[in-house]
Structure 1
Amino acid sequence: MIDPNEKNWPYYQALFFLQDEELTELAQAGQKIYDQKDALYQRFYDWLQNHPFFLSYYTEDVLQAIRDSEDIFWDDLLSGQADDEYIERQRFFGQVFASVGIPFDAYLAFLNYYHQEVQDLLEQQGLLSLNLLKTYRKFTGIAVSTLTDGYSSAKDELLREKEETLSSMSTPITPLWEGILLLPLVGFLDSERAQQVMHAMLEAIAEKNAKVFILDIRGIAVMDSEVANALIKMSKAAKLMGCQAMLSGISGNVAQTIVDIGLDIQEIQTHGNMLNALRAALRLTNQSIF
């Protein structure tokens, strides 16, 4: 029984209705055109150098990596040998193309041209029967599917890392004074980001032994009940750690919105601007600017 959740060689072989005898026929044809391999790759490199995006994407390092892998590419396509290692190798190649920044459409153009060159060579040598053409298209379909799977997974990972980086950059906690921390909030504050902010806030309070934490909300795009409740939770969490949370940047519009939606934030100390919040924080911690 083939598990559709486990995308190994038996899965792809069944998905594309590819038989072992067909792979044997493909391998026999591949042996007959092996002596044309170098000429085919030279045409391929000529095509790459005339590609409109060549200078942007196909750098010398990328070209060298392709040259170093010529025999692997050729054997993977025409040796008729396919197993789980073959599948993982195709995924790896897809990940490599994604990691060097080649866009998906340029990547597909690369695959399509290479596969078409091999198909044309088989036809020129009088080897491309209808059955072999069907086999070749099924096998290249598996190759494109697995290569694309690897490309997509690498892009997803790069996106996840980027989101984590942006998330960490979006919570720039700054020590203002001994025991006083500041976090300017900018943009939208949904439930997921609120959790990230609270986590970063509590870690900073513990690390710096902070007594006051100022949340400056001038840059908040929307003030609604979800945002206000998130701020209340942050204040309560800080209080449990012996830290007073303050809000600064309360504009007239924000104050009116809070009143209109009937929210009670009296337990949070609020200030119209950051300077007033800092003065209050200094008094609370028995410090002064001078």
Structure 2
Amino acid sequence: MYPIYVPNEDKLYFVGIQRDASDRKSEETKAEEFKQQASLLSTPFVPISENICILPLVGNINLERWEDIYQRISAHVHDRDVEIFIMDLQGLQDVNDDMYSGILRLQQILQVMGARLMVTGIEPSMAKVSVNLADYRKKKISFYANVQQALESIRAKY
């Protein structure tokens, strides 16, 4: 609604313009569906056994994606009674401070839920940086060069 004053009549009129917003709403709905699908594809859980699951991460991880990862992993661990969760970092493009903070927070969430976090895909450059940023030994997070090493470690302990 827009007010229009007509001086020679000394009257104020209101003009309304109506637009069909159904196309825009449809596009917004599609965009939200695509966003949800992208979220599911970016955090695919791969069950290894009844109580072991792997999450191969790909791309970049920002704070918003971490929040999604926390939500999805905690729900998955709860619903399927997962005891060991392996997070594989080989597909990540950039490892930064947020990544290390995210790993520590995820470990705390899983620990409270009675699950254990193992991290694989650690390259030498990542190892050097992570040693300087956090003392993971105190946090009881196991790191392995690849998933195979992590699975061999699990077999040896169980």
TM-score, normalised on structure 1?
0.47
> 1:1-290, aligned counterparts within 5 Å?
11=1, 14=2, 17=4, 142=17, 146-147=19-20, 149-260=21-132, 262-266=133-137, 267=139, 268-284=141-157, 286=158
| Larger CA Rg, structure 1 vs 2 | 1
Secondary structure of the residue aligned to 1:247 is strand
Structure number with the bigger relative contact order (C-alpha 8 A, sep ≥ 6) is 2
- Structure 1 portions without partners, runs of 5+: 1-10, 18-137
Cα distance in structure 1, aligned partners of 2:76 and 2:155: 18
Cα distance in structure 2, aligned partners of 1:152 and 1:272: 47
CA deviations over 1:87-142 (Å, ceiling 9, x no partner): xxxxxxxxxxxxxxxxxxxxxxxxxxxxxxxxxxxxxxxxxxxxxxxxxxx98xx3
Query: More displaced, 224-233 or 151-160?
Result: 151-160
CA deviations over 1:201-236 (Å, ceiling 9, x no partner): 111111221111000011111111111100111011
Cα distance in structure 1, aligned partners of 2:101 and 2:156: 27
Higher helix residue share:
1
Secondary structure of the residue aligned to 1:172 is coil
How many pairs align? Answer: 148
Distance verdict in 2 for CA 1:178–1:283, change over 3 Å = farther
Instruction: Note if contact 1:223-1:257 (Cα within 8 Å) is conserved in structure 2.
Output: no
Structure 1 segments (4+ residues) deviating >6 Å:
none
Instruction: Note if contact 1:180-1:281 (Cα within 8 Å) is conserved in structure 2.
Output: no
**Aligned-pair CA distance for 1:259:** 3.3
Instruction: Note if contact 1:182-1:213 (Cα within 8 Å) is conserved in structure 2.
Output: yes
CA deviations over 1:158-198 (Å, ceiling 9, x no partner): 11111011101211111102311100011111111111111
Cα distance in structure 1, aligned partners of 2:41 and 2:102: 20
Cα distance in structure 1, aligned partners of 2:22 and 2:88: 43
Instruction: Note if contact 1:182-1:216 (Cα within 8 Å) is conserved in structure 2.
Output: yes
**Aligned-pair CA distance for 1:279:** 1.5
Instruction: Note if contact 1:211-1:242 (Cα within 8 Å) is conserved in structure 2.
Output: yes
Cα distance in structure 2, aligned partners of 1:188 and 1:231: 14
**Aligned-pair CA distance for 1:263:** 2.5
Instruction: Note if contact 1:185-1:220 (Cα within 8 Å) is conserved in structure 2.
Output: yes
Cα distance in structure 2, aligned partners of 1:178 and 1:157: 36
TM-score, normalised on structure 2?
0.83
